[in-house]
Structure 1
């Protein structure tokens, strides 16, 4: 495990942004590792092992938020803002809509009987993360992750198949209730995004084991922090560290965090792990590769 691994977004997020000369030289002289699988899920799975295998993020974050995830199978039903357009319904926000706790609870009240009649309990321990408690044996369709849904047409991500039909009906009923809710009317009048849909994702049961070769994680992302807690990395220990920069969109901000790591390399390794699967390994001895021309851009 590298002494420090920087988790980064897809390289396209930095398209057109040049590398500073010193960083361009360091990356040109570094070892380019074999590309990994693309996507944030695959990126985190490079650093965390779950048993049984899967990605039950609803149960993982539920344990972080409420500590009761072992009781049920879980599904996230996060609040979402959708804007109808000529081609369908574009998803503009999921989860973080700036809801106050009292707004979230008021929105939940008329929705709870709808899901309760279907055998599912709806709750929101935080305004941004809503959960459905499901029977442990419940069979579910495939749900798209938020990173695939956000910015795209909601209709192309509705669950399919016989099981999906039930969830499409539940979503439609929830949308009707939300559309007419006084909280949304007040938010629209105040120029705030309304909660006019839900995003179902992350289904599954709490893993039996979560392991990582890292000793600590630095992040503001609840999914990553929840994984770290289950892996015993909270609080962080001395040793290999994961540093989460996936929300950055300006390359100079990445370089500002990269330079201190390069300056303190010694005999250790620093690794860059991009969400598109690209990876670099940097070591102090690579500075003697003077024949390699500096990189101008990440591409």
Structure 2
């Protein structure tokens, strides 16, 4: 079984990038899923829609229980001629003090709805909802980034409550004095919360993986739910990182997933290439790009010089 590498979209890799040389010598496989959520559900079997709120809350705080949770990630929304667009979400580089300052006027708003706001981390917030709350399916941030938000707001009678709540959130954050200071410092404002991933903790999560190396909270939460090992990513240094995914005994790294899909291609070339090069010489390696392309490389494939260096 292969070590799996989850990589950014293939188009992000320049022709001279070393990953291109690997892919050129690999056996091409049928295309796999495209995008973040589709990639997760390809490796993990959990009840749809994926309850990201409960899973990530359980990983971070261990108190998800049987409650209903939804992610409420700090976000930056920018008005334009056609409405507004989501420009950033969940990675706003907030300090704990800034997060508490932003949350202060929001907490009473949620309490009026019998919801409780939890600052799980400065950049990852959650809402605990009353049991039986009807929650429409909100798109994940990756599905809405850069797009007109009007096409992603919940519709119909069930969605009206949530549209009003979203509007109230934006009004309170738009006039928050901390945003004036952030803009003056060249930082993006936090003028909205992106609600997504509602649901309760699933009873079971299944996977054929034996472990994951990732900084992504939802991926690590799925690994924890499936009862497999999950390790935070560290800058690769060849032998040290290959040891981290269990290079000894010989089969210990079989079917581990190393998640690099959120990194710039140049960072992969600079910091992670020694690890990838070592793995490719020692065991089967499957390359899965976020754009769907896949290839499988076996150690002897490095002798396929006739295939050149482009893919």
**Which category of TM-score, normalised to the shorter sequence, fits these structures?**
0.7 to 0.9
1:87 aligned residue: 82
* The one of 288, 294, 297 aligned to 2:308: 294
SS of corresponding position for 1:69: coil
Paired residue for 2:154, among 136, 156, 159?
159
Q: Deviation of residue 57 (structure 1)?
A: 0.8
Number of the residue aligned with 1:9: 8
Confirm or deny: 8 A CA contact 1:218 1:242 kept in the other structure.
yes
Tell me, in whole angstroms, the C-alpha distance in 2 between the residues paired with 1:279 and 1:147.
Answer: 21
How far apart, CA to CA, are the structure 1 residues paired with 2:151 and 2:297?
41
Distance 2:204 2:26 in 1: 34
Q: Following the alignment from structure 1 to structure 2, what is the Cα–Cα distance between the partners of residues 271 and 59?
A: 30
Is residue 95–residue 129 contact of structure 1 (8 Å, CA) maintained in 2?
yes
- Give 1:166-205 correspondences, 5 Å limit: 166-205=161-200
Counterparts of 2:54 and 2:274, CA distance in 1: 37
Paired residues of 1:248 and 1:254 also in contact (CA < 8 A): no
User: How many residues matched?
Assistant: 291
Q: How far did residue 255 of structure 1 move?
A: 8.2
* 2:45 is equivalent to residue 49 of structure 1: yes
What is the CA distance between 1:102 and its match in structure 2?
A: 1.9
Q: How far apart are the structure 2 equivalents of 1:271 and 1:44?
A: 16
1:239 corresponds in structure 2 to: 253
TM-score by length of 1: 0.87
1:61 CA displacement: 0.5
Matches within 5 A, 1:19-98: 19-20=16-17, 24=20, 26-50=22-46, 52-98=47-93
In structure 2, relative to structure 1, the CA distance for the partners of 1:295 and 1:184 (3 Å cut) is: same
> 1:79, 1:128 within 8 Å by CA — same for their partners in 2?
yes
- Is 1:18 aligned to 2:32, yes or no? no
List gaps (5 residues or longer) in structure 1.
none
Distance 1:23 1:109 in 2: 47
Q: Displacement, 1:151?
A: 2.0
Displacement of 1:42 in angstroms is 1.5
For 2:20 and 2:183, locate their aligned partners in 1 and report how far apart those are by CA, in whole Å: 47
* TM-score under structure 2 length normalisation: 0.84
Whether contact under 8 Å (1:245, 1:254) holds in the other structure is: no
RMSD: 2.4
Matches within 5 A, 1:99-138: 99-138=94-133
1:11-30 deviations in whole A, cap 9, x for unaligned? Answer: 2333xx1145x755542332
* Secondary structure at the counterpart of residue 209 of structure 1: coil
Deviation at 1:174, TM superposition (A): 1.1
Q: CA deviation at 1:182?
A: 2.5
Gaps of 5+ in 2: 232-244, 247-251
